[in-house]
Amino acid sequence: MSGGAVSDMPPPPPDDSDWSSPRLTPDPDWSSRPPPPPDDAGWSSQPPAPPPLVGPPTAGGVPGARPALLGTGDTVALASPGTRFTARIVDLLVLAVLGSVLGFVAGPAGTVIVAAAYETIFIATKGQTPGKMATRIRIVRTDDGAIPGWGASAARWALPSVASIATVVASAVAVESAAIDWLGVIGLLVYVSLLWDRRRQGWHDKVARTLVINTPAQTALSNRVAIWLGVAFVALIALLVGLVIWAFASFGF
């Protein structure tokens, strides 16, 4: 009985097969692997510094300014309504001084002519009136950012000035009409319309295809020189226009 039990047991494994532990096979590519990092570069090192904080985006280098894209893809900073209003007040003060002098000589027609020359010449040649020079804003074309031409500058002035033009025409033909008052309201709406436009374009800007943008800061001296040269230039034009109108009225040329 004991002999049969022994004969039913499986044979023992061969002596050279140590199946009680796994066989380790050397990696043939161990020499091509990079060496492990040194001890001071392990996971115990300090974590990397956080990225620097980025402030709110700016347009044209002016913090908080509303950006706008030109036709060239460049970004510009739109002038704020308050800045544009300040520039308009400065221009009106200059024109008031010139108009008070010219009104004695040429009347309303001469005043309107000087206002048209003041706005058109400065915008067409420099993109800035003295008021805009003082407040550091400029008028540019929407397609390429260049200074508006003569036609765009004249159209930009004419649209909000329809009441003044109509008044001169009506006085010339001796006609009084309540419609002139409504034209004055339209002229005011032209300026106010920039408040609800995304690109801060008034109706006159849309007609002329222009934007009003901030400009880089100029030195105080160059800014004052440009303003006074502009005022002197307009004063000379006002004097010439007044003399011409006075000559026509006095001598019947």
End-to-end CA distance of the chain: 155
Residue 139 CB neighbours (<10 A): 24
C-alpha closest to that of 86 among 154, 148, 158, 134: 134
- Quick one: pLDDT at residue 97? 78
- Quick one: pLDDT at residue 216? 76
Half-sphere exposure at residue 148, Cβ-oriented, CA atoms within 13 angstroms: 32
> Which two tokens mark 246?
């006075």
The Cα-based distances of 140 to 24, 61, 118, 137, 221 in angstroms read 79, 17, 17, 10, 24
Per-residue model confidence as pLDDT tens digits over 25-34: 555 555 566 6
Q: Mean pLDDT in the chain?
A: 74
CA–CA separation, 138 and 216 (whole Å)? 10
Helix count and strand count (H, E) for the chain: 8, 6
Q: What is the pLDDT along the chain (253 residues), one digit of tens a residue?
A: 445 555 566 666 555 545 555 555 555 555 566 666 555 544 545 556 655 544 444 454 455 568 888 888 899 999 999 999 999 999 988 888 777 766 655 566 777 888 888 899 999 999 999 899 889 999 999 999 999 999 999 999 998 887 677 766 666 555 566 666 677 778 888 889 999 999 999 999 999 999 999 987 655 445 566 666 666 666 666 666 666 666 666 665 5
CA–CA separation, 168 and 220 (whole Å)? 39
The DSSP output letter for 134 is H
